[in-house]
Structure 1
Amino acid sequence: MCVKSHIKGDDGCKYDIVTLGPIGVLPEYQNRGIGALLLDRSKVIAKELGYKAIVLCGDPDYYRRH
Structure 2
Amino acid sequence: MISQGIIDARFLLDAGVKKLIQNGKGELFLNATELLNTMVIKAKVTGNNFNYISKKHYETQVIRLGYSY
Structure 1 length-normalised TM: 0.29
Greater Rg by CA: 2
Return the structure number with greater strand share. Answer: 2
Return the structure number with greater helix share. Answer: 1
